[in-house]
Structure 1
Amino acid sequence: MSINGHAHADLYRECSPRNSEAEETTPLLGNGSMQTRATGASFTSSVFNLMNAIMGSGILGLAFAMASTGIVGFGILLVLVSSLAAYSIHLLLKLCDQTGINSYEDLGGKALKKPGKVLVGIAILVQNIGAMSSYLFILKSELPPAINSFLSPDHTGNAWYEDGRLLLILVTVCIVLPLSLLPKIGFLGYTSSLAFLFMLYFAVVVVVKKWSIPCPLPHNVTTLSGMLKISNSSESDCTPKLFIVSIKSAYAIPTMAFSFLCHTAILPIYCELERPTKARMQNVANISIGLSFLLYFISALFGYLTFYSHVDSELLLGYDTYLPRDIMVMTVRLAILLAVLLTVPLIHFPARKAVILLLYGGRNISWLIHIISTLIILTVVLILAIFVPDISNVFGVVGSTMSSCLLFVFPGIFYLKISGQPLRSVDSIGAIFLVVFGLIMGVISLCVIIITWVRSS
């Protein structure tokens, strides 16, 4: 399953989306191996593929973003980011039709020569490392409660399997590393069909459990780990806020950008589409973004209306305290954990391919370099997941830098450099707006996040 679409970033192949009679190819994740097929992907399957590329761990952080911006403020920002994401996809598709290029890195090379290709490769590498770190962070925080939920209520704590960091290391070494070392892991792509069902079930559970937790939140609740958690919730906390402006608001837009990033998957999916045309692919993108927007907003709204200002940066953590051993919460946690666990190796492949592209020009490499690159990337990701104290930090930093570049800045710059359209044309003005918005959003958000870190330390 490709939660944020990064697993598709390594699908480099030449195809002509404008020629619907051209032979279609289905890539196997890995080192660019492909198997030929006679027909392309249907419109419906393309919609689900792109939704799988869009939706991911960002859904767990959007309730926290709503608590930092208010319901109306969050809604306005979500509409803005999703609309700009759809528009930047429109620009990428125009460039694809104009040039015949179907790789994000190659578009960077076409626009800015080798520096452009390197910039895109670095952005994809950092973005994927951030995504893998966020997924491993989820495993670190969710595995101990998941195990505890199946143990006897009178179980005493302090067991080794209640240490999230130790569990994370074991899971990474025993499961993630072997899968990541494989030259091809196309078989894991079958899990992508479950992605939409997992996210839909997550949204349903969040809606249903809104009425299972009273407000104000109960005081002095004992958690699954046996610790006593004291809530400071009062009646005033049970009034939803429409607009909120605070230092935490700086995390909202980067988290949304992280959640809607699917641009490295757009062009490969375009190539696989049955009877590919720009208008048909744009409809696929619009429907996918619209459905993702709906699930994002519903889960964020009801998550916020459940915990209000006390919502955790990783939404599922809040249910452990007030709904211990709840069957629906237990099953949705297992579904998310399974999806996350199988996604990390998929996301690792394009990250390693970006490293090979940057260091070795993308040429065939030896098994030794393959293994060393895998170990270095996973070690960096594991260190980040272990020592980063809050998942919102990952969303904030990666979203304000690499996500904003891949989502807004790069599509705008590439269009201005490649299209040859006059600056006064509608799309050129839109491309300029994308670049300016992405730069302003990224710089302001990153500065505020750094200031927050300095003040808290």
Structure 2
Amino acid sequence: MELQKASNGHYDLSPDRSLENGFDALENLTDGDTFLPNKSNGKIETQFTDFEGKTSFGMSIFNLSNAIMGSGILGLAYAMANTGIIPFVILLVCIAILSAYSIHLLLKSAGVVGIRAYEQLGNRAFGPPGKILAACIITLHNIGAMSSYLFIVKIELPHVIHGLLEMPDNSDDWFVDGRYLIIIVSVLIILPLAFMKRLGYLGYTSGFSLSCMVFFLISVIYKKFVTECFVKHGNNKTVFNESIYNSTSDTCEAKMITINSETAFTIPIMAFAFVCHPEVLPIYTELRNPSKKRMQNVANISILAMFVMYLLTAIFGYLTFYGTVDSELLKMYSRNDTLMLCVRLAVLIAVTLTVPVVLFPIRRAVLQLLFPDKPFHWARHISIAVCLLFLVNLLVIFVPNIRDIFGFIGATSAPSLIFILPGIFYIYIVPEEQEPLKSRPKILAIAFVTLGFIFMIMSITFIIIEWVTGKKTSGAH
């Protein structure tokens, strides 16, 4: 007997298939009416019915690319300086491939059970504890990301205003106070975008955000060809040194391979450069004509585009300043440079427009935890956005340095979202009848989870070493 959904929402049983298959289909619907199993050419295909996606393929690429693009791009030249060009390129290629594979595991798990919510995958794999764990990890990670973006606004926007208005740096006017500026930016720009009903609507702002980062990349490339070799001095300023530039010193030479005390610290920065996994399933939900192949293509194109941007930024940033490059690339350029002033403004616009994209998965996680069976309601939608943005603003304004706190959270949440949870979901959700535990895909997934735990332990160890020794590392996503 075949289980079919009639127009009135009830299920009819038709004698096409066995009663056993009908019960199997009914069991698959226990997580909420999320999909209908259809039999096509002898193979069951999952059809999602939880949401009718309307976002185009191109807009989905913009949104996912914007989710991938983080503030960590400013530290990639520093990472290259501490690994060398060859190891950096190898690591970046490996991380991009691993990230695409991780998204493949997520999409495969979602396709098996017809669920396109990270939290519901956790619920299917481990019950309510898995759902709560996934929601908490997504919330903590994305709050950390939002805080890092608003910290950039708080620190850099006053400098941009000083430069545009040609004001002295010691000016204490309210409109150059970072605390007031993040409130203004949050209320006038971020909050209206966060009120959007669907993530797909942010495709236009994501496209503009990416264009700002392309402008940043073009400027970094241009500066490579007009900037002489610089040497950092004790006063933390960079000045041209003709004798060193013309000498046999290796200060201004590119290193193919570099190993120093900072090398190990830069690996986690690169490992988390492609973190976008909380946004993958929400974007999948809103994709027009959704299929695993179509969404995987969205992910692959987005990852490839960001890989090219990351690589070019790192290479040209490194070849401009070599071993003296700072952990935040923009600090290396003069604040009196009109072009770089515009670049700073473009980066600020880019990170500001990324905040609403990062907020959507948090709101979805809160809704999955607190209101799992409730239909969409504007009051809940708006109030959750206001509360989240209010909380993040409080953290950025009143906590002088939350970098260590969220660094520790990031060291645990990022490996979980990239490696551990997608792999474990895949292992538990894909039935053994389809792929036995000793099959090649399952073995690869187990190795992937193991790699995630290694990254987590390594990242936490680096943070503890930094706390103990007082060393500084550059920020990540």
Residue 157 (str. 1) matches residue 165 (str. 2): no
Residue 111 (str. 1) matches residue 125 (str. 2): yes
CA 1:242 to 1:309, structure 2 compared with 1: closer, same or farther past 3 Å? same
Match of 1:308 among 322, 327, 332: 322
Residue 55 (str. 1) matches residue 69 (str. 2): yes
Residue 78 (str. 1) matches residue 92 (str. 2): yes
Which stretch shows the higher mean deviation, 229-238 or 441-450?
A: 229-238
> In the alignment, is the contact (CA less than 8 A) between 2:77 and 2:325 conserved in 1?
yes
Residue 342 (str. 1) matches residue 350 (str. 2): no
Aligned residue number for residue 267 of structure 1? 281
1:395-452 per-residue CA deviation (whole Å, 9 max, x = no partner) reads: 8545422111111110111111111222221211111111111110111121112211
Following the alignment from structure 2 to structure 1, what is the Cα–Cα distance between the partners of residues 33 and 74? 34
Following the alignment from structure 1 to structure 2, what is the Cα–Cα distance between the partners of residues 435 and 21? 28
What pairs up with 1:9-48 in 2 under 5 angstroms? 14=34, 25-26=52-53, 41-42=56-57, 44-48=58-62
Residue 325 (str. 1) matches residue 352 (str. 2): no
Q: Structure 1 unaligned segments of length 5 or more: list them.
A: 1-11, 27-36, 222-227
Q: How many residues align?
A: 422
Name the TM-score, length of structure 2 as normaliser: 0.76
Following the alignment from structure 1 to structure 2, what is the Cα–Cα distance between the partners of residues 56 and 91? 23
Tell me the secondary structure at the aligned position of residue 445 of structure 1. helix
> In the alignment, is the contact (CA less than 8 A) between 1:218 and 1:231 conserved in 2?
yes
What pairs up with 1:32-431 in 2 under 5 angstroms? 41-42=56-57, 44-152=58-166, 155=168, 157-160=170-173, 165-171=178-184, 174-175=187-188, 179=192, 182=195, 184=197, 190-217=204-231, 229=237, 235-320=249-334, 324-327=336-339, 329-355=340-366, 357-358=368-369, 363=374, 371=383, 374-375=386-387, 378-380=390-392, 382-384=394-396, 387=399, 396-419=407-430, 420=432, 421-431=435-445
Aligned residue number for residue 466 of structure 2? 452
> In the alignment, is the contact (CA less than 8 A) between 1:254 and 1:397 conserved in 2?
no
Tell me the secondary structure at the aligned position of residue 99 of structure 2. helix
1:54-97 per-residue CA deviation (whole Å, 9 max, x = no partner) reads: 22322222222222322222112111211111111111121122
Tell me the secondary structure at the aligned position of residue 240 of structure 1. coil
CA 1:164 to 1:240, structure 2 compared with 1: closer, same or farther past 3 Å? farther
* CA displacement at 1:105 relative to structure 2: 0.9
> In the alignment, is the contact (CA less than 8 A) between 1:125 and 1:354 conserved in 2?
yes
Letter in 2 for 1:436: T
Tell me the secondary structure at the aligned position of residue 341 of structure 1. helix
CA 1:165 to 1:48, structure 2 compared with 1: closer, same or farther past 3 Å? closer
Following the alignment from structure 2 to structure 1, what is the Cα–Cα distance between the partners of residues 220 and 233? 21
* CA displacement at 1:137 relative to structure 2: 1.6
> In the alignment, is the contact (CA less than 8 A) between 1:142 and 1:333 conserved in 2?
yes
> In the alignment, is the contact (CA less than 8 A) between 2:193 and 2:356 conserved in 1?
yes
1:20-63 per-residue CA deviation (whole Å, 9 max, x = no partner) reads: 8979724xxxxxxxxxx5xx624x44433332232232222222
Letter in 2 for 1:405: S
Following the alignment from structure 2 to structure 1, what is the Cα–Cα distance between the partners of residues 381 and 114? 32
Tell me the secondary structure at the aligned position of residue 159 of structure 2. helix
CA 1:183 to 1:192, structure 2 compared with 1: closer, same or farther past 3 Å? closer
> In the alignment, is the contact (CA less than 8 A) between 2:228 and 2:240 conserved in 1?
no
Letter in 2 for 1:311: V
Following the alignment from structure 2 to structure 1, what is the Cα–Cα distance between the partners of residues 271 and 373? 28
Which is higher, the Rg of structure 1 or of structure 2? 2
Tell me the secondary structure at the aligned position of residue 260 of structure 1. coil
What percent identity do the matched residue pairs reach? Answer: 42
> In the alignment, is the contact (CA less than 8 A) between 2:424 and 2:445 conserved in 1?
yes
> In the alignment, is the contact (CA less than 8 A) between 1:257 and 1:399 conserved in 2?
no
For the aligned residue pairs, the C-alpha RMSD in angstroms reads: 3.7
Tell me the secondary structure at the aligned position of residue 350 of structure 1. helix
Tell me the secondary structure at the aligned position of residue 436 of structure 2. coil
Tell me the secondary structure at the aligned position of residue 170 of structure 2. coil
Following the alignment from structure 1 to structure 2, what is the Cα–Cα distance between the partners of residues 208 and 409? 40
Which stretch shows the higher mean deviation, 64-73 or 346-355?
A: 346-355
1:148-181 per-residue CA deviation (whole Å, 9 max, x = no partner) reads: 221338x463333686543445436644685488
Letter in 2 for 1:216: F
* CA displacement at 1:114 relative to structure 2: 0.9
Following the alignment from structure 2 to structure 1, what is the Cα–Cα distance between the partners of residues 405 and 36? 37
Which stretch shows the higher mean deviation, 435-444 or 273-282?
A: 273-282
Aligned residue number for residue 8 of structure 2? none
Tell me the secondary structure at the aligned position of residue 217 of structure 1. strand
* CA displacement at 1:347 relative to structure 2: 2.7
Letter in 1 for 2:427: L
Following the alignment from structure 2 to structure 1, what is the Cα–Cα distance between the partners of residues 153 and 328? 11
> In the alignment, is the contact (CA less than 8 A) between 1:179 and 1:185 conserved in 2?
no
> In the alignment, is the contact (CA less than 8 A) between 2:34 and 2:48 conserved in 1?
no
CA 1:380 to 1:45, structure 2 compared with 1: closer, same or farther past 3 Å? closer
Which stretch shows the higher mean deviation, 127-136 or 197-206?
A: 197-206
Aligned residue number for residue 8 of structure 1? none
CA 1:362 to 1:183, structure 2 compared with 1: closer, same or farther past 3 Å? farther
> In the alignment, is the contact (CA less than 8 A) between 1:150 and 1:325 conserved in 2?
no
CA 1:349 to 1:13, structure 2 compared with 1: closer, same or farther past 3 Å? farther
Which stretch shows the higher mean deviation, 82-91 or 231-240?
A: 231-240
Following the alignment from structure 1 to structure 2, what is the Cα–Cα distance between the partners of residues 21 and 379? 34
1:186-228 per-residue CA deviation (whole Å, 9 max, x = no partner) reads: 665531221331222221111111123211337699xxxxxx8
CA 1:231 to 1:140, structure 2 compared with 1: closer, same or farther past 3 Å? farther
